[in-house]
């Protein structure tokens, strides 16, 4: 570094500037990759939340991350300012399941890679990660074709025994995997995955739950589609 160069000028200036054409191409690639990621998440994801609604955020996450990296990489002062801003601002999200967090990180990784103008690595990495994820998801679903996701909610948690619900489901299903149990003064929510021989048993389970707890709301989720009973 030139010793005669003022320190303030060194902080404010960048040795490299990115052209508008390169930026436009990269942000278009970010949009395409994040759109593909949203489709993959909606079709192959295992999250019990509304995957289609959550996937609509992928475009904004990737492109915003890329925009930030494209700006701050041109100035050390901006980079330090971003670190200071993020240490003050606390981002709170409604991520409830690890899979949602994993896909959010992949969106951020797309934006980081393209913001740093690493197109080839970003595209190849995206294809490898999503390709392996699709293969794994198909392998799991081929072994587990009778798997059913259920979300059971009650607006009267004080009069609803969650242990009795879980015991009833465990007794009438081949296996049970509890995903999430949320309970407070106003609502009880149980998210779980069960394996059954046939869907007639699902109707039987629903009727038994309704008979014992009339206030229950039972949502059956299959391939991203929500069915409420």
Q: Scanning the structure block, which residue is given the tokens 């500037």?
A: 17
Question: What pTM was estimated for this model as a whole?
Answer: 0.58
> By C-alpha distance, which of 178, 205, 193 is closest to 141?
193
**Domain locations along the chain:** 7-143, 147-228
Closest CA to 172 of 145, 221, 209: 209
Q: What is the pLDDT along the chain (229 residues), one digit of tens a residue?
A: 555 555 555 545 544 566 888 889 999 999 999 999 999 998 888 776 678 888 888 999 999 888 888 887 766 556 655 655 555 555 555 556 778 888 989 999 999 899 888 999 999 999 999 999 999 887 766 554 467 788 888 887 777 788 888 888 888 877 788 888 888 777 888 888 887 766 677 788 888 888 888 878 887 765 444 444 5
The region, left, alpha or beta by phi > 0 then psi within -120 to 50, assigned to residue 213 is: beta
Alpha-carbon distance of 109 to 33, in angstroms, equals 11
Give the separation between CA 196 and CA 146, rounded to whole angstroms.
Answer: 6
CB 192 within 8 A of CB 176: yes
Query: What CATH number should be reported for the domain whose range is 147-228?
Result: 3.30.70.260
CA atoms of 165 and 142, how far apart (whole Å): 28
């Amino acid at each position: 570094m030139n010793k005669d160069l003022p320190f303030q000028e060194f902080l404010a200036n960048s040795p490299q500037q990115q052209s508008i054409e390169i930026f436009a191409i990269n942000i278009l690639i970010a949009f395409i990759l994040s759109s593909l990621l949203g489709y993959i998440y909606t079709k192959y994801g295992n999250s019990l939340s509304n995957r289609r609604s959550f996937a609509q955020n992928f475009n904004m996450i990737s492109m915003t991350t890329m925009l930030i990296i494209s700006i701050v990489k041109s100035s050390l002062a901006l980079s330090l300012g971003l670190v200071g801003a993020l240490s003050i601002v606390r981002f709170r999200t409604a991520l409830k399941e690890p899979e949602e967090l994993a896909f959010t990180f992949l969106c951020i990784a797309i934006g980081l890679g393209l913001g740093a103008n690493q197109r080839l690595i970003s595209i190849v990495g995206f294809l490898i990660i999503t390709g392996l994820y699709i293969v794994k998801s198909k392998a799991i679903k081929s072994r587990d074709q009778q798997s059913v996701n259920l979300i059971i909610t009650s607006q009267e948690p004080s009069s609803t025994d969650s242990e009795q619900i879980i015991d009833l489901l465990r007794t009438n299903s081949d296996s049970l995997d509890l995903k999430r149990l949320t309970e407070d003064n106003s609502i009880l929510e149980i998210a779980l995955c069960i394996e059954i021989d046939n869907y007639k048993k699902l109707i039987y389970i629903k009727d038994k739950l309704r008979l014992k707890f009339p206030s229950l709301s039972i949502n059956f989720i299959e391939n991203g589609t929500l069915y409420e009973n």
